[in-house]
């Protein structure tokens, strides 16, 4: 069966690697900032401020990546009911990260701690679940191809 490009679940090479790179920068900068400010409890330094500036910039890019997956990857996988469990988990986590990221800027001061921890926990969960999602998705796809060849 030939599948039209826009119906493909698999990402193109550039799309895939650009998405990985942007996500890695968001995740690493988020973890470094958490480690320094909330674990080591250091006073804010120029380094931490720059890490947060990088985080904010690449967070915006990560939302573009997210948007680029909705009409293609997510829509096609959803229609074919493939890899839905971890897929929906990541979808929820991305939504929570975006809303709590917004709340860090614009919510009342007394919500800040809740917004921050909601943001950090959903971020760490995504860091753990995304590789799982990709590994399961690839495994299921390989198995489907093998089954197809046998028949």
Return d(Cα 122, Cα 125) in angstroms, integer: 5
Q: Per-residue x/- mask for ligand HEM, residues 65 to 104, rule CB under 6 A?
A: -x--x---xx--xx---xxx--xx-xx--x--xx--x--x
Closest to 124 (Cα-Cα) out of 104, 103, 96, 102? 96
Query: Counting contacts by CB under 6 A, is residue 22 touching ligand HEM?
Result: no
Which residue in this structure is represented by tokens 């995504």? 126
Q: Is 36 in the site for ligand HEM (CB under 6 A)?
A: no
The CB-based long-range contact list for 59-64 (8 Å cut-off, 24+ gap) reads 59/26, 59/101, 61/22, 61/26, 62/22, 62/23, 62/26, 63/98
Q: List interacting residues with ligand HEM (CB under 6 A).
A: 9-11, 16, 19, 26-27, 30-31, 33-34, 37, 52, 55-56, 59, 62-63, 66, 69, 73-74, 77-78, 82-84, 87-88, 90-91, 94, 97-98, 101, 104-105, 116, 119-120, 123-124, 126-127, 133-134, 137-138, 141
């Amino acid at each position: 069966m030939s599948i039209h490009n826009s119906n493909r679940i698999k990402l193109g090479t550039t799309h895939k690697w650009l998405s990985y790179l942007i996500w890695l920068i968001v995740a690493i900068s988020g973890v470094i900032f958490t480690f320094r400010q909330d674990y080591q409890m250091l006073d804010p330094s120029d380094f931490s401020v720059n890490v947060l500036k990088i985080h904010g910039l690449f967070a915006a890019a990560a939302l573009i990546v997210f948007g680029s997956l909705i009409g293609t990857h997510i829509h096609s996988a959803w229609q074919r009911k493939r890899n839905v469990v971890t897929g929906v988990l990541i979808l929820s986590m991305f939504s929570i990260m975006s809303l709590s990221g917004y709340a860090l800027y614009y919510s009342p001061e007394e919500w800040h701690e809740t917004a921050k921890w909601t943001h950090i926990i959903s971020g760490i969960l995504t860091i753990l679940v995304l590789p799982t999602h990709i590994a399961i998705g690839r495994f299921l796809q390989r198995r489907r191809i093998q089954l197809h060849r046998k028949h």
